[in-house]
Amino acid sequence: MNYIKINKFYNSHKMFINKIIQLTIAISSSKTEFRYSLMPIFPKT
C-alpha cells in the first residue's frame, strides 16, 4: 500500500524530480570544474 502511494507521487512529480536530479548533477559537476580551474591559483587543501 505504501509503495503504491510513493509510486503515484513519483509518477505525478516525475518531471519535477528529474529536473531536480539534473540540476543537482549540473551544480556538482560545475563545482568540480570550478575547483579544477582554480587549482593552478590555489594550492591543494
Rounded to whole angstroms, how far apart are CA atoms 35 and 29? 10
pLDDT of amino acid 42: 58
pTM: 0.47
pLDDT of amino acid 37: 67
Rounded to whole angstroms, how far apart are CA atoms 21 and 32? 17
pLDDT of amino acid 38: 64
pLDDT tens digits along 5-45: 888 888 888 988 889 888 888 888 877 776 666 666 655 54
List CB contacts of 17: < 8 A, sequence separation 6 or more.
10
* Amino acid type, 2: N
